[in-house]
Chains A and B, each alone.
Chain A
């Protein structure tokens, strides 16, 4: 088990290295010159060259890559070319916002998705199943940014125009209200929760729809296997069979899905952060790519890659817990 974990960690490190290398090459050959941000408008070629030299942009690509990798590994992440403050600070400001959003939406996605999927499988071929199947199909087909816009349209703009009560009226932008400083501690918590609501519903609804579709299939696959029939035949109640036999076995593909769905979740987060002006990693990255802010692009990519690898590692560990065979014999 421990040896296997070590191998997975090494593999994960390799993946992160691959991802940052590819990204470094891509952003470096992209047109656009970040040195322009450091010289006054109308400055001549001499000033520009001086700025390029000072920023180290005139050195050959391999040298820049090795220098960056070495410094990054040491914890020196450089200075943002656009914001002109340490990358560490920029990330430290943004990461908690993204982690809050992704963690909350993962929790919502999996609890909601499993509940809906199991209900559908238990009510297989009834009106409930059909209705939920159509609903999840449609929600799963919605782009996150469009669903976000529609939610803002209804629960922010329409709610304000038609004077809906406060509990179905939500802010369209940001993490806190402008006057959050003056609220009571409890008021501040409520304020944050209200700002989190629409982004969370966006990611959660799409996530629940996708997971429920998957869970329904996984449960239906297990439901007709011989051991389930045996358990029923020996007089076990339906609920006991559901929880002890079906759900435990259906859980395995669901855990795999958890690991695989992380990159998609981060992609969704990028759009949601842009729409809701949520100051997280996704927004920082989109701005940085547009502004050719290499240090920030590299740092955000590396962190996303590490999070994805860690998520997959966690899924593997959960897998071993859920299936004793894996813990003993390894994955393959």
Chain B
């Protein structure tokens, strides 16, 4: 089982959006997409805090992934997000924006 907890805070409006996603509850296609994006980002190898320096009005993203026996949290901002993590951030942001 894989669970993703996602929060986006800050931004010009300073408003939080969040989403909790259990990949088991998703249609296969979507679960596969998120799984691929996690792999692409090499998520479990990312440093946990990539939020410095603070960038005025940028979003801060807080992602935690629970995966069977392991768990990892990563905090990044628009200015510091690694390129490989971008597609995952985009997808999770979209989910969170649709659920808000």
Whether chains A and B associate is: no
Q: Chain B interface (Cβ within 8 Å of chain A)?
A: none
Q: Chain A interface (Cβ within 8 Å of chain B)?
A: none
